[in-house]
Chain A
Amino acid sequence: MKPKEEVGIKGYAGYVPKYRIKPKDIGEVWGEDGEVMGRGLKIESKSVPAPDEDVVTISTQAAKWAMQRADIDSDEIDAIYVGSESHPYAVKPTATIVAASLAATPHLTAADYEFACKAGTAAFQTCMGLVSSGMITNGIAIGADTSQGAPGDALEYSTAAGGAAYIIGAGDLLAKLKHTCSYTTDTPDFWRREGKKYPEHGGRFTGKPAYFKHVTNCTNKLFEETGKGPEDFDYAVFHQPNGKFPRKAAKKIGFSQEQIEPGLLVTRIGNTYSGAVPLGLAATLDQADPGDNILVTGYGSGAGSDSFDIEVTKNIKKIKDHKVPTIKEIISEEEFISYSIYAKFREKISAGGE
């Protein structure tokens, strides 16, 4: 899918809660060797949202900073899409709360997206279409999550919180969104039924027939449509449910460790679901130079992948003027907590037992 008119990123920023828990401390509660689990998943710690943090607060903070970088006002926002699988309400949009917090209401369109971990990149594509068709001037695409892992489940070692927001528009761009494509099938590898607190997953089925099949096929489709290959990109960002999968996928497709390293945040912050690829891309843009090319492929269970061909412009050098913290700066602020505090923060236990 090639945009009709030039479209790209005018501003971006991410937010990750400062609290962290180590796999060792999770394993200790469940009688497992958490260090071995962590090593297997290549996760050293994962982020934990504070009790007053959710997808709304993460999205709002990221969007505010992104607007600062794009140097646009609230009344210039024509659309907001928030992709997440942990929207605070089952029925009532996150996007309206974010829009109101940004003072962007009422003259804009807004909606929530859900497509497991790729809802954020789906929001990218929507904004790309609206901008390149001339229907809107600026849209905000957000991917954010405070993902859930059932106590004692293997997911508990990776499910984390964080997100990033992107101002998609035309004109003065930090990076061009030159091409995108998707690969979608009905593959039940991971799901959460209506009314259930925690998701379920298909164990090893989440690997080869799910993540790897979609990420590989979508990326190769982008190569086919653009005539490019791994050697044409300076960086690559893949969805990162753990540290193993993106490394393996990158190797299989033909990317080097150096190409993916800047966007690989999962080791320190865990799997931020819809936030993972937007955050990985933000960290990559933080260190990119004008002319750099970035390949992005997200993955959402259920299942689908979105790939993007991104070219960084000379404007990237100006972002330092806006005093917005880089992803590296944000994630370097860490406060480690015990499992009991984590259990309280994540409402696995509550005062009064309610």
Chain B
Amino acid sequence: MRDVAIIGVGETRLGELWDKSLRELGIEAGLKALKDAGLKGDEVEKLYVGNMSAGKLIDQEHIAPLIADYAGISEVPSTRVESGSASGGIALAEGFKAVASGMEDIVVVGGAEKMTDVGEQEAKDILSSTADQEWETVFGATFVSLYAMMARYHMEKYGTTKDQLAQVAVKNHSNAAKNPNAQFPREIKKEFVKNAPMVADPLGMFDCAPISDGAASVVLCPAERAESFHGKPVKIAGIGQGGDYMSVHERKHICTMKATERAAKKAYSRAGIGPRDIDFAEVHDNYTITEIMSIEDLGFFKKGEGGKATEEGKTDINSHIPINTSGGLKAKGRPVGAVGLNQAVEAVLQLREDAGERQVNEPRYGLIHNIGGTGASSIVHILKRWS
């Protein structure tokens, strides 16, 4: 297997982008990434597109060749990758495999989602369709209510508090305030989060990531060629993907995501490092409880201590392990099938020390973590500074 580098990144602003279509978003992010790498469209050998639900959200399937066509590279083979909200992260892994195996040299991996063309209720129903339709949603469970059960159990078992959940949102908004592409680039107060209208007890409106439009893209090539391009390269040091039961009720411990534990274990092993070597992480925070559970499942904190650690500032941007420096799904935004690529863009910017006001101090390793559905799939990438 060959080593693989990321040689260019690009992303759109995230938010309610009323005047932009899915294809426009995908093209914008892709062109930015190619420009960053100093490449032209005709040098691309393969395109992967992470997308969760264009069929339901914009009534359009077969979107990878659509984006390739409108980007002016219709002859390039293209494939859409779907794994719920982990579509973006898993598309990146597929791109990695294509380069690592020697099949392709220059691969573009994009993620794009257009969520605001449907009403808010419909968007929520579509998100819920990544849970088990026959065993969960048919009985009335919504996506957020399944996460609310995890939150309730975490509170019961480990004493996690509403304050600690709220602190995740406060921290991520504070980071997003330094990110020009964020949907909500502004700070919020803890009381505001705690007093927001209830969505599914104990998760209020500000415990939930928004519905967003947006796209992100990276360009991959064999590490041995990485220095011959325009952009500053970053190495993909390790990847791990994990799986778990589709339905939450099948799992032994509902506030441990085995898929994440399994993914992390493989990624650390392949990178030859452990959680203590990670300098920052972009963690899947579709709900505040998910960040707390995930920083435990990824090994940064012991099970049950994620809430306390967050409250104590141990995941702040200037801490030992800054979590979601971009603002995360919570405040940067959640174009659901693109999330994994948005995370990759942030990690590359940090490792290249191009993250501006939110730059962490000389990071060597960054981790990105992307969950599908309520945790039936999970993918972890460890990225490494080039030199």
Contact = CB atoms under 8 A, between A and B. Distances in A.
Report whether chain A binds chain B.
Answer: yes
Interface of A: 33, 36, 40, 202-205, 208-209
B116 to A, nearest CB: 7
B16 A204 contact: yes
Given A209-B18, A209-B19, A204 B116 contact: yes
Nearest to B118: A203
Contacts of A33: 197-198
17 contacts: A33-B197, A33-B198, A36-B197, A40-B197, A202-B119, A203-B119, A203-B120, A204-B16, A204-B116, A204-B120, A205-B16, A205-B18, A205-B116, A208-B16, A208-B18, A209-B18, A209-B19
B305 to A, nearest CB: 33
A209 B16 CA distance: 10
Contacts of B119: 202-203
Interface residues of B, number: 8
Nearest 6 CB-CB pairings of A with B? A209-B18, A203-B120, A36-B197, A203-B119, A204-B16, A33-B197
Nearest to B197: A36
A319 B18 CA distance: 47
A202 B18 CA distance: 11
Nearest to A37: B197
Contacts of B116: 204-205
A36 B197 CA distance: 7
A119 to B, nearest CB: 25
A266 B82 CA distance: 46
B211 to A, nearest CB: 9
Given A33-B197, A33-B198, 5 more contacts: A203-B119, A204-B116, A205-B16, A205-B18, A208-B16
A102 to B, nearest CB: 42
B214 to A, nearest CB: 16
Contacts of B18: 205, 208-209
Interface string B102-132: 0000000000000010011000000000000
A204 B116 CA distance: 9
Q: Which of A202, A203, A205 has the most CB of B within 10 A?
A: A203
Contacts of A36: 197
A208 B120 CA distance: 16
A53 B197 CA distance: 35
Nearest to A36: B197
Contacts of B120: 203-204
Nearest to B122: A203
A205 B116 CA distance: 8
